[in-house]
């Protein structure tokens, strides 16, 4: 059947294509929450209008291909996840900067950052994420792909990749400032609106939760000072 004969990194193309989309979506969620909590308001700095962040999808594929030999050794998995993902983040950031003269993320305010594209704190997060990826996210994602009927899964994957292709064209045209491509912008408008609705529904509760947690910490600190 279609997709079955082709294998790569121990997966058939069907599973690999699905996992790429899953981790692009999960990465978008993490990015929206992280940037929104940091800024204090909803923020989506992704390149696409769709709720997908391909850098995380590609990162997941790289992690599967390069880090699987270390998946049974947690210290090495943490170390190489930190190094490889940081190198990947820096490479993508430099390429986007060279192509579009813009940054899609900025760590300038973080200690010991390099060109605002990488920093030690985020590298530590990458190391932790590598462990979480192999011991939790990857098995759950594989299970999610397997429970979807194969033919329905193929149709869904093709449809999403078609939308992503159109969305990528739109984003590229916008990046190089060609507003005459209005037909592409119109076709991706609904993607942007859906992403905004979904993103705000995720970001606003996260912002509220963090705000309440900070208030609780401040109150506990005030009580401690009063007791002392």
Domain ranges of the chain: 7-227
What is the 3-state secondary structure of the chain? CCCCCCEECCEEHHHHHHHHHHHHHHHHHHHHHHHHHHHCCCCCCCCCCCCCCHHHHHHHHHHHHHHHHHCCCHHHHHHHHHHHHHHHHHHHHHHHHHHHCCCCCCCCCCCCCECCCECHHHHHHHHHHHHHHHHHHHHHHHHHHHHCCHHHHHHHHHHHHHHHHHHHHHHHHHHCCCCCCHHHHHHHHHHHHHHHHHHHHHHHHHHHHHHHHHHHHHHHHHHHHHHC
Enter the tokens of residue 201.
């529904």
Average pLDDT of the residues in 68-91: 90
Average pLDDT of the residues in 8-12: 72
Average pLDDT of the residues in 139-159: 93
Phi/psi at 8 (5° precision): -155, 130
Average pLDDT of the residues in 73-85: 92
Closest to 18 in 3D by CA, of 64, 82, 49, 72: 64
Predicted pLDDT at 228: 61
- The chain-wide mean pLDDT, for the chain, equals 82
Average pLDDT of the residues in 8-27: 86
162 CB-side CA count, 13 A = 7
Closest to 42 in 3D by CA, of 210, 214, 196: 196
pTM: 0.78
The confidence band for 180, taking pLDDT boundaries of 50, 70 and 90, is very low
Predicted pLDDT at 70: 86
Enter the tokens of residue 124.
């530590």
Task: Round to whole Å and give the CA distance between 22 and 160.
Answer: 11
Predicted pLDDT at 110: 85
């Amino acid at each position: 059947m279609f997709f079955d004969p082709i294998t790569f990194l121990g997966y058939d193309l069907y599973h690999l294509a699905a996992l790429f989309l899953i981790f692009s979506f999960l990465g978008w969620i993490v990015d929206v929450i992280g940037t929104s909590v940091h800024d204090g308001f909803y923020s989506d700095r992704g390149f696409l209008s769709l709720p997908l962040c391909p850098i995380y999808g590609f990162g997941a594929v790289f992690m599967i291909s390069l880090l699987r030999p270390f998946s049974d050794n947690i210290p090495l998995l943490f170390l190489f996840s930190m190094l490889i993902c940081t190198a990947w983040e820096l490479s993508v950031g430099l390429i986007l900067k060279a192509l579009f003269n813009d940054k899609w993320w900025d760590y300038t305010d973080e200690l010991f950052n390099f060109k605002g594209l990488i920093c030690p704190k985020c590298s530590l997060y990458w190391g932790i994420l590598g462990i979480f990826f192999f011991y939790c996210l990857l098995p759950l994602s594989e299970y999610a792909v397997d429970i979807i009927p194969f033919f329905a899964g193929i149709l869904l994957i093709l449809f999403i990749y078609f939308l992503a292709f159109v969305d990528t064209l739109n984003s590229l045209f916008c990046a190089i400032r060609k507003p005459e491509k209005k037909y592409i912008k119109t076709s991706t408008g609904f993607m942007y609106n859906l992403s905004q609705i979904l993103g705000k529904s995720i970001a606003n509760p996260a912002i509220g939760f963090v705000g309440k947690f900070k208030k609780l910490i401040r109150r506990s600190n005030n009580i401690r000072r009063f007791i002392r």
